[in-house]
Amino acid sequence: MKEILVRPERCVGCRSCEIACAVEHSQSRDLLKALSEMPQRRLYVEHVPEYSLAVPMLCRHCEDAPCVAVCPTGALTQDALTGVVRHNRDICIGCWTCASVCTYGVIGRDRRARVAIKCDRCPDREVPACVSACPTRALIYGEVEEVSRARRAAPALKFAQGVAASSR
Amino acid sequence: MKVDERRCIGCRACSAISRSISISEDAGIRSITFHSHDESLTERLIEACPAGAISSGITAESITLTFRMKRCSVCGEPFATEREIEHVASLIPETHKNWLDLCPECRRAEQRRSHAWHCIRIRGRV
Amino acid sequence: MGKIYLDPERCIGCRSCEVACEREHGHPRISVDKVKDLAAVPVYCHQCDTAPCAAVCYTGSLRLDGDMVVFDPDLCTLCGLCFVACPFGAIELDSVIHRCDLCGGTPVCVMTCPTEALQLEDIDAITGSTRSRAAGVLAARVRV
């Protein structure tokens, strides 16, 4: 299953992802028209000054998600196949138990509808809006195994070069 | 006063107002008995009924309405009449988790269980 | 105005909150129990933003007021529908309704809790601080 993976070292803190998320979830789906709707983002770029880094924080659709476990009404459910955690606004009672147990603090509050608001992995899109919008590819959409494999390539190469050099 | 047994949901409102209305539960059945009584309370009873089952009029003899109670799907204790639950379900959005099938004590236990599970997993992290 | 939030890792099951609540109101509105011997968890009213108890209350005795659910005992008919409608089982009913009302702003359970498992806070402040703490942890592990 594809996941949204974050490479914070590439994040420049532009927040294009946040804007794209909000626009994608607006009625008008257009940036200028969306301004009057005041749609809400579902991911948050956090600045960490100690490390001079910006870290995009988004729903990890955790395996055996705690938010799903504690939801008293079943508004939060986890798809058995894809692992995506879905939030049903019609069932939600705005109790915020999910928000209080979320380890990443990425469940927000829709103040007008008085229900929770969280990442839905953009079910109507091929690639989630935040990933498409990211100019530095700090957010990538891919299978975990493929991304890990790609990451292994560079250090493996270095290792091999080191071994080759030392055996001469 | 008159009571419409098709509308009555078997809640506790009227018995809380009038001493001539008694309520009891036994073996998963709630019984509400309307004894002939003081008509001065009829207005209050009409207002207090959530189902609009009470109206003015004369009922000569006492009548008893019985309601099957819903048993908690976990502990089996009866906690509300089936009609009360239908009434509540009609006023709130549909739910997946069928928490309405649980008695309040078991709902509390479920909250505790899910929080405890979350707690164990956090503690398991280094 | 804040609501009561639980940090489940901190609850030690001492029940001081229950005792304080009972002393304040005559009947506790918070209920602590253990889950086997793994953890202890208090259950209380969450002042839900779209509370089912308020949805079923036909007299307006329980109603939404800003961020809170407020209770007017003069309008209560003791029908018991709120008792059935609360998904947390946080409302109890005998001759009156027993439900947390945050003690009017300074909840005694929060004041009494020895481990600060219960806090009075705005949910956005809680998620905000959790998020920045988590971001700090992630940032520390990034190899630039």
Q: What is the pLDDT of residues B70-81, one digit of tens each?
A: 999 999 999 999
* Element (DSSP H or E) covering residue A141: strand A139-143
C60 touches B: beta carbon within 8 Å:
no
Cβ A91–B94 below 8 Å, yes or no? yes
Q: Which residue of A has its CA nearest to B94?
A: A91
Contact B95 A73 (CB under 8 A): yes
Give A53 to chain C, closest Cα distance, Å. 7
Q: Is A101 in Cβ contact with B118 (below 8 Å)?
A: yes
CATH number of A1-58+121-143: 3.30.70.20
Check if the beta carbon of residue C72 is closer than 8 Å to that of residue C61. Answer: yes
pTM: 0.90
| Overall residue count recorded for chain A in this entry | 168
Domains: count for chain C: 1
Tell me the sheet residues that pair with A85: A78
Contact A73 B121 (CB under 8 A): no
Residues of A with CB under 8 A from a CB of B: 64, 66, 69-75, 77, 88, 90-91, 97, 101, 103
Going residue by residue through chain A (168 aa), what tens digit of pLDDT does each one get? 899 999 999 999 999 999 999 999 988 877 777 777 778 999 999 999 999 999 999 999 999 899 999 999 999 999 999 999 999 999 999 999 999 999 999 999 998 899 999 999 999 999 999 999 999 999 999 999 998 898 899 889 999 999 988 887
Which sign does the torsion angle of CA B49, B50, B55, B60 carry? negative
Q: Report ipTM for this prediction.
A: 0.93
Looking at residue B96, its pLDDT comes to 66
How big is the CA angle at C31 (ends A66 and C124), to the nearest 5 degrees? 45
Q: Are the folds of A1-58+121-143 and A60-118 the same?
A: yes
Question: Per 3-state DSSP, what percentage of chain B is helix, strand, and coil (rounded to 5)?
Answer: 40, 25, 40
Instruction: Identify the domain containing residue C129 by its residue range.
Output: 3-140
pLDDT of residue B126: 37
**Dihedral angle at the C-alpha atoms of C47, C53, C58, C63, nearest 10 degrees?**
0
List CB contacts (< 8 A) between C38 and chain B.
116, 119-120
Alpha-carbon dihedral sign for residues B94, C6, C120, C98: positive
Look at the domain A60-118 and name its fold.
Alpha-Beta Plaits (3.30.70)
CATH number at residue C45: 3.30.70.20
Subunits close to A (at least 3 CB pairs below 8 A)? B, C
Domain ranges of chain A: 1-58+121-143, 60-118
Between chain A and chain C, the number of residue pairs with CB atoms below 8 A apart is 92
Model pLDDT, residue B103: 96
